[in-house]
Copies of this chain bind each other. A is one copy, B any other.
Amino acid sequence: MARKPAHAPGETAGQPGLNDDIGEKMRLTMYRMQVEIRQSEQRAYDLFLQNLVKGTSHLSLGQEAVATGFAAAMKPGDLSFCTYRGHAHTLARGVPIERVLGELMQRDNGLMRGKGGSMHLTSVEHGVMGSYAIVGAHLPIACGAAWRAQYKGDKDVSVCFFGDGTTNIGAFHEALNFAAVWKLPVIFVCENNLYMEYTPIGEVTSVEHPAADRAASYGLERIVLDGQDADTIYRAARAAYDKARAGGGPSLIECMTYRYSGHSRADPAKYRPDGELDAWKKRDPIKIYRDRLIQFGIAENVIAGIETDVNRRVDEATEKCKAAPPPSLDLLTSDVYADGGWAWRN
């Protein structure tokens, strides 16, 4: 169940074209963003095969459109709360590739200088308020950030990304109800990639759409999107941001998508039925978007230029990371407490 995207391919093709509500500039931005995520994630995978990525890592190959659509709709100051599968969302906020790869490679140039690791990417200056590795934990945290905005009259919106499997944990329920009752400016985005780790979501969930089919429990609208189409995501995201900023409270948005690789680096993903991956690759978000750009009359060389430029930047970032030293050892005991140290006694 839940194996088919809710929208047919090319759904947005009927839109008014390049000068529609999205427009050329934003579309090129979104294309670049998707390509950057794709290439960076692919590079992370290659580096892992070269034994240069340590620890674990969770790629978003195939899920680029969701991160892109939301990030593109954000304003500066909006806050992102991610999971361990957070590289894409972090890059989408403008965090330099080098800082992300550096963290995966446990180098001193990493976003957290190697202290957090791939599952905890954080860049407060870019609005990435952390990546959380305990399933569900960040949904209530995002509520808190949204509460601050509401209380202070700040106009920023918090967005919280999570997977389909996360909808079955208690924190999901508590956060959704809490946000709804307090009318918080927070957007909950479920990236339904059909699997909770290795188990198909349908085998462990009482409804077909694990997030959207539960929206009514919180008085929220049921929203299921084609997660492979960045335009669709972008439009829905913009509406949700507008609603949140206008005091209309939270949204819960389920995006149907698919991860091309295993759950984490250790996983060859053998549990997937034959043909499933191929079928989804036919609806590759980058391919869809590239075709649309072409269809809208963007020149092939403009598109290729973006691709080459991203490629160069990923290469440069990789080289910088390879050359970067490991974290300095005094980091071990720094920043446990606000005084910079770790003393629990005098």
Contact = CB atoms under 8 A, between A and B. Distances in A.
Interface stretch (A106-114, A172-180, A284-292): A172-180
Q: Is the interface of A mostly helix, strand, loop or mixed?
A: helix
A220 to B, nearest CB: 8
A345 to B, nearest CB: 28
A293 to B, nearest CB: 40
Interface string A206-229: 110000011011111000000000
B206 A176 contact: yes
A173 B172 CA distance: 9
Nearest to A172: B173
Interface string A161-174: 00000001111111
Nearest to A140: B170
> Assembly of this chain: how many copies?
2
A204 interface: yes
Contact of A205 (B181, B203, B214): B181
A178 B206 CA distance: 8
Contacts of A170: 169-174
Nearest to A219: B206
A205 B217 CA distance: 10
A137 to B, nearest CB: 11
A214 B219 CA distance: 10
Contacts of A174: 168-170, 173
Interface string A181-193: 1000000000000
Contacts of A176: 206
Contacts of A219: 206-207
A282 B181 CA distance: 32
Contacts of A204: 177, 181
Contacts of A213: 216-217
A38 to B, nearest CB: 34
14 contacts: A168-B177, A168-B178, A173-B173, A173-B174, A177-B204, A177-B206, A181-B205, A181-B206, A206-B217, A206-B219, A206-B220, A207-B218, A214-B217, A216-B216
Interface of A: 168-174, 176-178, 180-181, 203-207, 213-214, 216-220
Given A168-B178, A216-B217, 20 more contacts: A168-B174, A168-B177, A169-B170, A169-B173, A170-B170, A170-B172, A170-B173, A170-B174, A173-B174, A177-B205, A180-B206, A181-B203, A181-B205, A206-B217, A206-B218, A206-B220, A214-B214, A214-B217, A216-B216, A217-B217
